Structure 1
Amino acid sequence: MKLKTWFHQWGSPRWFFEKTKPVSTVLGLLSLVFLSLGVIWGLAFAPEDYQQGNSFRIMYVHVPSALLCQSLYLFMGVAGFIGLVWRMKLTDVAISAAIPLGMMLTAVALITGSLWGRPTWGTWWEWDGRTVSTLVLFFLYFGIYALRQAIEDSSTRANATAIIAMVGTLNIPIIKYSVDWWHTLHQPATFTITEKPAMPSEMWLPFLVMVIGFYCFAGHNVISRMRIEILRRESRSAWVKSIATSGEKAR
């Protein structure tokens, strides 16, 4: 299959809807397995941290949430770019599907970070570079969500959303490198491609399992939301009506 053909197939709402049901199902099952294993392993069997005690276990929710909310925003930025350049309708569907989960995960990252910061730093909140830039990310998600609710014209809404999503990606490197650029209470990355993790395997293995589980859940959630949104937008098309008709006959 030629790359151009493959690219345009993925831009077709009908083709996407028909091909992604098994993908969504598999990702949902994988997320259930990995998250269940990660929660039990991380909360019940991982050893205590010699400095933070059991409070470090918040890491198993806080860090995956923080990583994933950034990844989802990058996903929105890329989708926005593709939508503006190639005018693919599916990209706006993808952005609309990613916003609720991204906003929720950013809130989870901020809340769990506050809970973790109290016993570790002695304060619920610190206006350091990473915390502030993550708060900015939450406002970006919320702003895009509010903008989509305020604009009625679908074309104008899609273009405005795409532009803000693209511009907002400039905040992601700030979140990532703020610990290197400014004095901050946040520690540098524990995991890097070139270096061994700075924690024992009994701690980082369940963390890795949780990260995989979070990303599988995000894939399942976003694809499921996209499929629902496609049905809503294409409700007058013949292929959607045929699905509704076949569903009624199955009853």
Structure 2
Amino acid sequence: MVAIFEIKKQAVRMTLMWKWLYPYTKFESVYQICGKLFLLFAVLALLFLSIGTIWGLMYAPPDYQQGDGFRIIYIHVPSAILSMSIYMSMALAAFVGLVWQVQLSNMAVVAMAPIGAVFTFLALFTGSIWGKTMWGTWWVWDARLTAELVLLLLYLGVISLHHAFNDQEVAVKISSVLAVVGVVNLPVIHFSVEWWNTLHQGATITKFEKPSISNDMLWPLLFNIFGFAFFHATIIMVRMRNEIIRKERNRLWVIELARKNVRDS
């Protein structure tokens, strides 16, 4: 009897949770939410990036070894962190889309993949510039650099597969499978400096007890990391709205929205 009561209790909880989540699975509701969050994330991105960039480039002290050349860290590190976190978010969305057939999750994969690819390219590009200063060469087949390059190829693979098939359902499934499988590359990127003897420096800001960077350099870096994250969220909101409009373009609410925008303009 106790077991039956617990099962019923869990079923009630799941039902209540679904009722709470259900409005957020509607395309029109998500479109409106993205529109509201867009402005918030845009303001936060501008605020954090302005503070972090000005503080880091103009007021942070020069590094005792690299001088002012270290300041590329304020672009390179946030880009590298976002390249991995976006992929993890994309893979989770792909998993949800594959298992529960949630169309919004599939849209999120489509929306995130190009943004993640840009951040990964930016991380590789700025890393090459930093490598030229530190190692005297633009590129070495270092474990972390190579794994980051693989990450860029995974992003490009997801994007290419999504556009390689006329049948959108097949395209979404295949690209989502690649996104999920590619997650194995993320631990390689993160732990590569510990697993192998590499040229790339070890952890800096993730050593919370004693970061390998002074607070004068650390705080603007943290501001830029959050700024990049909010900037990414801003673009995601825009791309999600575009994907929803593309998917629902023949629906009555989209037609009425278009009419309203024409009247307002």
TM over 0.5: yes
Match of 2:9 in 1: none
Match of 2:215 in 1: 201
> How far 1:232 sits from its partner (Å)?
1.0
Matches for 1:14-163 after TM superposition, within 5 Å: 14-163=28-177
- Tell me which amino acid in the other structure corresponds to 2:152: F
- Which of 162, 168, 171 aligns to 2:182? It is 168
Whether 2:240 is the aligned partner of 1:190: answer no
Larger CA deviation: 217-226 vs 3-12: 3-12
Match of 1:250 in 2: 264
Instruction: Give, in whole Å, the separation in 1 of the partners of 2:133 and 2:69.
Output: 7
CA contact (8 A) 1:107 1:138 kept: yes
Instruction: Give, in whole Å, the separation in 1 of the partners of 2:20 and 2:142.
Output: 44
Larger CA deviation: 6-15 vs 152-161: 6-15
- Tell me which amino acid in the other structure corresponds to 2:244: I
Whether 2:226 is the aligned partner of 1:215: answer no
CA contact (8 A) 1:62 1:112 kept: yes
Instruction: Give, in whole Å, the separation in 2 of the partners of 1:250 and 1:74.
Output: 40
Instruction: Give, in whole Å, the separation in 2 of the partners of 1:6 and 1:205.
Output: 38
What TM-score, normalized to structure 2? 0.91
Match of 1:7 in 2: 21
> How far 1:194 sits from its partner (Å)?
4.3
Instruction: Give, in whole Å, the separation in 1 of the partners of 2:264 and 2:214.
Output: 54
2:204 partner SS: coil
CA contact (8 A) 2:111 2:236 kept: yes
> How far 1:197 sits from its partner (Å)?
1.5
CA contact (8 A) 1:148 1:157 kept: yes
1:52 partner SS: coil
Percent identity of equivalent pairs:
41
What whole-Å deviation, never above 9, does each CA across 1:24-43 have from its counterpart, x for those lacking one? 11001110111111111111
Q: Which has the larger radius of gyration?
A: 2
> How far 1:193 sits from its partner (Å)?
5.9
- Tell me which amino acid in the other structure corresponds to 1:61: I
2:199 partner SS: coil
Instruction: Give, in whole Å, the separation in 1 of the partners of 2:222 and 2:176.
Output: 32
Instruction: Give, in whole Å, the separation in 2 of the partners of 1:208 and 1:26.
Output: 19
> How far 1:45 sits from its partner (Å)?
0.6
1:195 partner SS: coil
Distance 1:175 1:6, change over 3 A: farther
Instruction: Give, in whole Å, the separation in 2 of the partners of 1:141 and 1:63.
Output: 19
What TM-score, normalized to structure 1? 0.96
Unaligned runs of 5+ in 2: 1-14
CA contact (8 A) 1:11 1:91 kept: no
2:137 partner SS: coil
> How far 1:212 sits from its partner (Å)?
0.5
What whole-Å deviation, never above 9, does each CA across 1:97-140 have from its counterpart, x for those lacking one? 11111111111100100000111112211111100000000001
What's the C-alpha RMSD, in Å, of the aligned pairs? 1.3
